[in-house]
Amino acid sequence: MPIAAISQMAGVRYCFPIAMSMGSMGAMKTTIDIHDELLERAKRRARETGRTLRGVVEDGLRAVLASPTLENTYQLPDLRVGDPNAEDPLERYSWPELRELIYNDRDGE
């Protein structure tokens, strides 16, 4: 039974083997999980361009790996309250004491 059929019966996304070019080392085979819609788009691109699925996947990987790494530009907003120079009220407690303070109402559960 083909891998795709087994994956569909098990409710899993498609798993398909791909071969990745390793330059003079030849090709290395591996299996990846890929979302159904993405796989269908890749297959469609391969059909439209007369190329193999392997070629489309390899070109996509090359394009991603050749592009500069995007820096994570999102920063959490500063929602601190109170005086930043004030003493931290939690510093006087040890971890076991803090745990007791946090979970003391849950002992009966």
| Sequence spans of domains, the chain | 3-66
**87 in helix, strand or coil?**
coil
Per-position pLDDT tens, the chain of length 109: 444 554 455 555 555 555 555 555 577 888 889 999 999 999 999 999 999 999 999 999 999 899 888 777 788 888 888 888 888 888 889 999 999 888 886 655 5
Dist. CA 27–CA 16, nearest whole Å: 15
CB distance 72 to 50 below 8 Å: no
pLDDT the model gives residue 8 = 53
pLDDT the model gives residue 1 = 47
Give this prediction's pTM.
0.43
> CB under 8 Å, gap of 24 or more: what pairs does 16-20 form?
18/53, 18/54, 18/57, 18/58, 19/54, 20/58, 20/61
